[in-house]
Amino acid sequence: MNFSNIKIILNTLNSHMKLDLGIKYKLLSKWCKEHNIVYQEFCVTSTLNRRFHSSQRSAQPQKDTTLLPSPQEVTSILRQNEFNKELSSGSVKSYDSNQLASNDPIEDTRSEALCKMTSGLLMGVFDGHGGPACAQVVSKRLLNYIAAALLPLDILQKYVKDGLQENLIETFNDKVQIVEDLKLMYDNSFKQYLAQLEDFSKNGTDVAKCLEHGIMNLDSHLSKEVVDPYKTKGVINPKTLSVALSGAVACVAHVDGPNLHIANVGDCNAVLGTLTDESEWIAKKITKEHNSENFDELKRIWSEHPEAERKTVIRRDRLLGELAPLRSLGDYRYKWSTQILMDVAVPLVGHKAIPQNYHTPPYLTAQPDIYYHRLTSKDKFLIIASDGLWDMMTPLQAVKLVGEHMKGKVFFNPLKLPRKNIQLGDINDLLIHRKESLKSKPKDRNAATHLIRHAIGGTEYGVDHSRLAHLLSLSPDVSRMFRDDITVTVAYFDSEFLRQCPT
């Protein structure tokens, strides 16, 4: 193990962060697991490192001269990718989103869109691994697949007959651009998908089935776009191969009036913020992660492979000792047959493309779990976020932070009287309420930024600027030890709209 790397890690833990001992152990253990290092070995090696280099220490402690970002610079970093959208109709009145990278480049993506030929808002958070390629492609394509699956049969037939002249979705804050040669391939795949949808649409448009159908078919196309050209022309496209060999987990919401559907693949999460009659916040965690902490998921995987593989199919809490999420899109290293891997992956990637103990593929699926919740006026917002946020705070902490943010951000808006003929006493009550709101006025208008700020710099006494500044100033190779990429979307519900929905 490289002593210089240990030194960086220990210096960061001991000098640059005000963390209690338990959190330090947790971070070290996580880092060791990700780098396939036995934790005890790390402890021994780091102890030896301190002994071997003890003579290099000066008698006086060295002053840390690292130039940290100022509070204004920290805020600028946190707000770099934030976005807000006000919506004019439906049960979602607005949403906030933001992302903060730890990897370089960031492997998280997100997308939001209104369905144009049906009703409903789609929102997705995608957490990539093994590179950003799969997450970027999925975020660009998946909402179209779902919107197409949601089309009633007559509208689908007319849409195909008219030559796909109109976009199915209206996207917001869409910055990802697909290179032209891949765009042509993806358009052809989508046309093939539309041609196959007619039989599916004959059975009606069940939202849960549409979410599943869109996810599974896009995942299948990620494979076909590599394998089909190889089988017909003997050609391997490095671009499509990089998408298929990298992976992405996904959490996608479809909100249509009071109906909330969530499709989840992997370890992102969706959490509902509900306000009780006693003005207390309740966090309802809608999703359940597909990872080694989910025993039902472990049982499913064990049941799909011979008993002789029980000790190898899940090792070190990972699929085949390598992959932490136990379901994902892409990641065809764990789905293709050994022969296909030998033909299309090994020539460009080498024999490491085939995992150890790879006997009875597929080991991985993109099959989503679908959840349904009927919204009421007590449901105030939905948080969808990658595990980078949930590693740093609990669902209840996140809900309380957004709830406090809702109360405090009232002060950002100019005072507006609710009606013309308002009494002086009512105006006085309004001013008192605004004065109370000032006490909890947040630094950020955007709730996603507010969550990220507290996730990284939060302590039991509030946000610690020193901690926040240190973590934001770390280089990506060290930063990844302390936190993952973080992507957050917070959707606010229109309580009055939901109150008037029939039960």
Average pLDDT over residues 338-351: 96
Average pLDDT over residues 122-139: 97
Q: Is the distance from CB of 212 to CB of 250 less than 8 angstroms?
A: no
pLDDT of residue 290 exceeding 90: yes
- The predicted structure's pLDDT at residue 10: 55
Average pLDDT over residues 389-398: 97
CA 243: distance to chain centroid? 18
Lowest mean pLDDT among 179-183, 424-428, 446-450: 424-428
- The predicted structure's pLDDT at residue 62: 42
422 φ/ψ angles, rounded to the nearest 5 degrees? -90, 140
pLDDT of residue 228 exceeding 90: yes
Q: Check residues 286 and 412 and name the one with the higher pLDDT.
A: 286
Residue whose structure tokens are 């136990």:
326
Residue 197 bridge partners (DSSP): none
- The predicted structure's pLDDT at residue 427: 79
Q: Is the distance from CB of 170 to CB of 119 less than 8 angstroms?
A: no
- The predicted structure's pLDDT at residue 17: 46
CA atoms within 13 A on the CB side of 363: 28
Average pLDDT over residues 400-413: 79
pLDDT tens digits, residue range 60-77?
Answer: 444 444 589 999 999 999
* Cα–Cα distances in angstroms (integers) from residue 436 to residues 58, 148, 409, 411, 430, in the given order: 52, 48, 11, 9, 10
- What lies within 8 Å, CB to CB, of 252 at 6+ separation is 122, 123, 124, 142, 143, 146, 211, 215, 262, 263, 264, 368
Number of Cβ within 10 Å of residue 417's Cβ equals 10
- The predicted structure's pLDDT at residue 41: 45
Lowest mean pLDDT among 321-335, 399-413, 480-494: 399-413
Q: Can you spell out the DSSP letters for 194-242?
A: HHHHHHHHTT---HHHHHHHHHHHHHHHHHHHHHHHHHHH----HHHHH
- The predicted structure's pLDDT at residue 152: 96
Rounded to the nearest integer, the mean pLDDT of the chain is 88
pLDDT tens digits, residue range 413-443?
Answer: 566 676 667 888 877 877 776 666 565 678 9
Q: Is the distance from CB of 282 to CB of 274 less than 8 angstroms?
A: yes
Q: Check residues 223 and 33 and name the one with the higher pLDDT.
A: 223
Q: Is the distance from CB of 268 to CB of 368 less than 8 angstroms?
A: no
- The predicted structure's pLDDT at residue 13: 55
Average pLDDT over residues 443-457: 96
CA atoms within 13 A on the CB side of 390: 17
What is the domain partition of the chain in residue ranges? 3-56
Q: Can you spell out the DSSP letters for 148-193?
A: HHTS-HHHHHHHHHTTS-S-SEEEES------HHHHHHHHHHHHHH
% the chain with pLDDT above 70: 83
pLDDT of residue 406 exceeding 50: yes
CA 194: distance to chain centroid? 28
Residue whose structure tokens are 């280089």:
475
- The predicted structure's pLDDT at residue 407: 84
CA distance 217 to 222: 9
CA atoms within 13 A on the CB side of 321: 13
